[in-house]
Amino acid sequence: QLQFVESGGGLVHPGGSLRLSCAASWLTLSLYDVAWFRQAPGKEREGVACIPSDGEGSDYADSVKGRFTISRDSILHTFHLQMDSLKPEDTAVYYCAANWNPRSPICTTLTHYDYWGQGTPVTVSS
């Protein structure tokens, strides 16, 4: 089974920053859309951000625009979510995901993703 290794979650004060990472040696980023999702306690999972397989046209949820940045490193088979100006409402378990979609110039989190990380918890609290 193809797996990811997620890292970077933790406890941070409001206004602070965290950087999540998702790595997989099998992940050829030019063939996959990659994304981050989150699920807060008692709420449904929501898409946070994605990058399409051609590396352009990232998309973000309105709630994180201007604060979160998704990026990828094709050489290291890794992608990241830089989270700045964190708010208590960002508290959730964050999941990375990938979807086979070669040569795609756009991405969306409103579709099925084939491969998922195990989740890493992020808590924003004073």
Residue 34's Cβ-count burial label (10 Å; 0-12, 13-18, 19+) is buried
User: What's the chain's average pLDDT?
Assistant: 95
How far apart CA 66 and CA 33 sit, in angstroms, is: 21
Mean pLDDT calculated for residue range 33-45: 96
Q: Helix, strand, coil shares of the chain as percentages rounded to 5?
A: 5, 45, 50
| Length, in residues, of the chain | 126
Q: What is the pLDDT of residue 88?
A: 97
Mean pLDDT calculated for residue range 52-60: 92
Q: Is the pLDDT of residue 39 over 80?
A: yes
Residue 118's Cβ-count burial label (10 Å; 0-12, 13-18, 19+) is exposed
Q: Are 4 and 29 in contact (CB under 8 A)?
A: no
Q: Is the pLDDT of residue 1 over 90?
A: no
Q: Is the pLDDT of residue 2 over 80?
A: no
Q: What is the pLDDT of residue 13?
A: 98
Per-residue pLDDT of 66-111, as tens digits, reads 999 999 998 889 999 999 999 999 999 999 999 999 999 999 999 9
